[in-house]
Structure 1
């Protein structure tokens, strides 16, 4: 009973702000969903139905309250070839398989992999996305009637100035209402939502994908579905982290993986394409005051109401109003402080951030950009840790024994430094390698130790390794060959 009451409290703790924010997001989803449908090469209703179903389902199944999920560009670009070659039914089937992969990822708790995304990568991801959002608005800013610029300027003014009067109503919603009223009253000749494409007028219906159930079909679908699942989860988990930071509240990343899978499967079964979390709409939602799951549910449900019951009213909303909202999102999303910190941050951090931005903007692929950032972060980290290792040596009083003391972390990046530091050609009878202040992490470290010991023995030196800690000793015992060769030679001699 207490759990049920607590759940209801989370849903209805902030109803007014959640409902109003959801209405704003529903309006902002329309041009995006239509545009992503065009990218994927499918009918606009496929993207719109996807946005309705995914938003409604993820409100219950997701792990990040107040985050918005719907049809997205990140997944749309992956679908293009599949739709062109095999048709939309194969897209629905691939989306179901995408959902299965995402559920498996959640059950395997792969959401924990977010710990390996550094702050520099996150900043680069956010900045790149802000740039992409701005670039996506350029077609609505070039070659348009002068009235469009006037509406755009007025919309931005309302968005930024209205909160000084009151924050009871989200300013983006006020801007949309004001600009729609002015457009209708003055009969302005500007692009409206009605010009973007044919809007569906019926409810989405349940249907299984009409594809043959064969291994050949699975061979076609599996690579696309796996890519869709990976891209969708990456963008969703990164967006969840951003919303976590904006709201100072935690989220359940593994539950989000499972929720994304369930939502995508439901989308395909009701005639929608695959999708994931949307940072732009999520920022609109949170910036408008939303904090709970109710806002996400309202966004999906109100979008459906707009499409089916309020289609005539929706058609007269000027695109300039939605462009103003998206420009606000772009401006608010970009981390302007990161530009000032380029000189003060460590060079490696700045390089990672800039590389992530450049890669995402150049490829229009968030997954590739984040992957580049993560790899660079790993390289820089490995280089930094490798410099913390040190090898010193001391010659015994009789000049017959050289002791090498190894300190720090020995792994693939520092293994070469360790092996180079041990001089096996020195005229001594015995070499002692003291690793009591070191830790061996991987096979590269074990291989370096093997090379040193075996080369020294070939030069007629006696070698002793001392001070291995328990973890390092286990690794050496399992994978090192120098002890096994010594034991083999001893047994042969006997």
Structure 2
């Protein structure tokens, strides 16, 4: 198998100029500044250190841009990973999270090499909406502890246990923390309106503005709230240690399932982000190259202490709106973050966790497609069941189970729908077929003609049994008009073989006519046509009736001109 490896960066460099470089640098700086508070907030919400989130954005962001299949994709930690990463950290520890991330990266890399990028699009939109909204709820709930300043040593990842712990510690609400959280939340939700009234605010992203304002307010007012410095001892102003995660064979086995979850979600979100970006810049991304880049990014990030990363829709859209049109903008964004760490890291110690929790809550609210719940009444029961089942299982149990359940339900409903569309109908005989030679003495037909519609597959093959119903008479020849049969699978082939054998035991012959390309190809390749006889495969119904006249026992040896 030939491996196609051609990053979008190579296509862009051939026509690159100074003007575009200036736009890319400006966009990269804007996105880099926006990514700083999001990277820290997502990391803390995931149970990791803020430094881990920043280095994830730096390393994964640079690799995604340099080697990806999209011109404008921005990679890094995202809100969608919060419940997954938090659950892995809670169950296995941060060290094993790094191992799971690298294992997921290998899976993504293999998916890209195997050219499976297009297969991700097979996931129904109902499943995507269901788990996206479910993840948003899980993220929102995970921020309640820091938003209210609750005194909780360990917050469980499991839904019911989390609710129980939050309720048991509701009396520990810290009023200064709650006041700062609410103020930051209101400020961020109303930021667009404020920016219209105060023009200078338009130059700064909302998360960065609330980060600065919240930090200054806590410092100037000397609010007794928890900060990055008090919980994590700040952010190291240096490069992190470089090395492979320390894993054992025992650890490797228990990390396979979490790694599959990371790989699946990373593939879905990165390709969804790339598709959104395509519509904004009138371009077309390479899904396989994007998966390769995401795989390499998730392999590289843990080497620097980072964790799971994927394409970030909000940061990618900001990149486009800021003028970024090539991967250079994403690379600049990573360099900007690196510069902030090496120069201004000590200032991060003053950032209140309440401010970061407000930022993540707004991200959770914005990432959910809540209007889809209002629209449910317009759709079928199948659509509603798949979406709601995926949503509730994501919230109450686990994302992996939710996606698996959603896919199983979607597949079952699709099979049922396709089987309903598959029909077998008795055709009225043409006038020439009412020749007395085609009739039994009692007036019943010696030839039965049926037409197949749709797809004869494992979910609909049982419909062939209608042809064997005694109430349909006892013809000596059965003609199957397959002009409107568009697809045949191996189970459908087996059904035709069984039908031929059962008819033969009754002394009845089978004739096929009007074969389309796919069913005809399978019937010829399987040897079914050879066993049936070439003469019993006709171009159309008229020719099939002529063949039936020849096969009728009482006419054998007669004039074959009809």
TM-score w.r.t. the length of structure 1 is 0.82
From 65, 68, 75, the equivalent of 1:68 is 75
Where structure 1 has 5 or more consecutive residues not aligned to the other structure, the ranges are 488-494
Q: Which segment is superposed worse, 150-159 or 190-199?
A: 150-159
> In the alignment, which residue of structure 2 is the partner of 1:6?
15
Partner Cα distance (1:294, 1:432) in 2: 65
Per the TM alignment, residue 186 of structure 1 is displaced from its structure 2 partner at its CA by 0.9
Does the 8 Å contact 1:75/1:274 carry over to 2? no
Closer, same or farther in 2 for the Cα pair 1:385/1:276, shift >3 Å?
A: same
Closer, same or farther in 2 for the Cα pair 1:179/1:75, shift >3 Å?
A: closer
From 377, 390, 398, the equivalent of 2:423 is 390
SS at match of 1:341: helix
Closer, same or farther in 2 for the Cα pair 1:170/1:272, shift >3 Å?
A: closer
Partner Cα distance (2:353, 2:323) in 1: 23
Does the 8 Å contact 1:404/1:434 carry over to 2? yes
Does the 8 Å contact 1:103/1:262 carry over to 2? yes
From 239, 243, 250, the equivalent of 1:203 is 239
Does the 8 Å contact 2:83/2:135 carry over to 1? no
Per the TM alignment, residue 192 of structure 1 is displaced from its structure 2 partner at its CA by 2.0
From 118, 141, 145, the equivalent of 2:147 is 141
Closer, same or farther in 2 for the Cα pair 1:311/1:152, shift >3 Å?
A: same
- Equivalent residue runs for 1:309-320 within 5 Å: 309-320=343-354
Per the TM alignment, residue 446 of structure 1 is displaced from its structure 2 partner at its CA by 1.0
Per the TM alignment, residue 178 of structure 1 is displaced from its structure 2 partner at its CA by 1.6
- Equivalent residue runs for 1:265-414 within 5 Å: 265-278=299-312, 293=327, 296-297=330-331, 300-365=334-399, 367-393=400-426, 394=428, 397=434, 398=439, 399-414=445-460
Q: For residues 57-93 of structure 1, what are the alpha-carbon distances to aligned partners after superposition, in whole Å with 9 as ceiling and x for unaligned?
A: 2222223424332384366368559956xx93x7656
- Equivalent residue runs for 1:215-294 within 5 Å: 228-241=262-275, 244=278, 250-278=284-312, 293=327
Q: For residues 431-463 of structure 1, what are the alpha-carbon distances to aligned partners after superposition, in whole Å with 9 as ceiling and x for unaligned?
A: 222212213421121122122222222223222
Closer, same or farther in 2 for the Cα pair 1:144/1:474, shift >3 Å?
A: same
SS at match of 1:310: helix
TM-score w.r.t. the length of structure 2 is 0.73
From 36, 51, 61, the equivalent of 2:46 is 36
What's the Cα RMSD here? Answer: 3.7
Q: Which segment is superposed worse, 18-27 or 472-481?
A: 472-481
Where structure 2 has 5 or more consecutive residues not aligned to the other structure, the ranges are 1-9, 149-172, 440-444, 535-562
> In the alignment, which residue of structure 2 is the partner of 1:181?
216
Does the 8 Å contact 2:47/2:86 carry over to 1? no
Per the TM alignment, residue 368 of structure 1 is displaced from its structure 2 partner at its CA by 3.6
SS at match of 1:409: strand
> In the alignment, which residue of structure 1 is the partner of 2:196?
164
> In the alignment, which residue of structure 1 is the partner of 2:187?
155
- Equivalent residue runs for 1:92-107 within 5 Å: 95-107=101-113
SS at match of 1:404: strand
> In the alignment, which residue of structure 1 is the partner of 2:131?
125
SS at match of 2:297: helix
Q: For residues 303-341 of structure 1, what are the alpha-carbon distances to aligned partners after superposition, in whole Å with 9 as ceiling and x for unaligned?
A: 444444323311112223222322322232222331221
Closer, same or farther in 2 for the Cα pair 1:46/1:339, shift >3 Å?
A: closer
Partner Cα distance (1:129, 1:284) in 2: 22
Does the 8 Å contact 2:478/2:508 carry over to 1? yes
Does the 8 Å contact 1:57/1:263 carry over to 2? yes
SS at match of 2:143: helix
Closer, same or farther in 2 for the Cα pair 1:238/1:217, shift >3 Å?
A: same
Q: Does 1:419 align with 2:465?
A: yes
Equivalent pairs counted in the alignment come to 477
Structure with bigger gyration radius: 2
Does the 8 Å contact 1:34/1:48 carry over to 2? no
Per the TM alignment, residue 196 of structure 1 is displaced from its structure 2 partner at its CA by 3.7
